[in-house]
Amino acid sequence: MMAMSLRPILLHPDPRLKKVCEPVAEITPELRRLADDMLETMYEAPGVGLAAPQVGVLQRLLVMDCVKEEGAAPRPMVLFNPEVTWVSDETNVYEEGCLSIPEHYADVERPAEVRVTWLDPDGKLREEHFDGLWSTCVQHEIDHLEGKLFIDYLKPLKRQMITRKMQKMKRELARP
C-alpha cells in the first residue's frame, strides 16, 4: 500500500476551524486514506485525537488513540458521523490543549462519561461508552466537527488573549 502522508494542521484563527462539518455521505477509499493519514499525523504531533477540519477537510470524521500506558497496545479509532447519545450528570475538569492552538492549555469542564454512536471504516454502526481521557477526547473532537474549540469555553478576555498570541505566532511563521 502506498505510504501514508502527513497532513498540515490548520492553526487558529482559521475560518475553516469554525465551520459546522458535513456528514459523510459515503465512506470512500479516499476518506479511508484520509483517516489513515490523520492517524499518522496525530501520532507524529503527538496527540491523542484529531478531527478532519483540523486538516482542512470539513467532513464529520475524527480519529483518536488515548492509550497512554507505555508499552500498552495502541488502540487507533476512526469515527465517521459520530453522535453523542448520552452524557453523565457527573462532570470532570481536564487541562486541555489543541493541536490547532499549540502551547496553550486551560481547564475545561465536560461530562465525565459519554455514549457515542458512529460508522466505522467498514460502514458498520458502532456504539461505545467512553470515560476518562477517551471521554474528554471524543467530546473535544466532536466539538471540532461543530466548529467549536476548547477556548470557546473560556472567559472572553482569556480567549481573546490566546487568539491574539496565535495571530502573532502565525505572522512570525509567515515571515520570509
Instruction: Report the interface residues with ligand K2U, using CB under 6 A.
Output: 47-51, 94, 96-100, 133, 136-137, 140-141, 144
Nearest distance from residue 7's CB to ligand K2U, in Å? 13
Residue 83 annotated to the active site: no
Q: Nearest to residue 52, comparing CAs of 166, 167, 146, 125? A: 146
E strand or H helix at 108, and its extent? strand 106-111
Nearest distance from residue 59's CB to ligand K2U, in Å? 15
Nearest distance from residue 11's CB to ligand K2U, in Å? 11
E strand or H helix at 85, and its extent? strand 77-87
3-state class (DSSP) for residue 91: strand
Chain residue whose CB lies nearest ligand K2U: 47
The strand pair at 61-64 and 91-96 is best described as: unpaired
Q: Are 76 and 84 in contact (CB under 8 A)?
A: no
Residue 138's binding partner among Zn ion, ligand K2U, none (Cβ under 5 to 8 angstroms by kind) is: none
- Catalytic residue (one of 69, 113, 141, 146): 141
Catalytic positions? 141
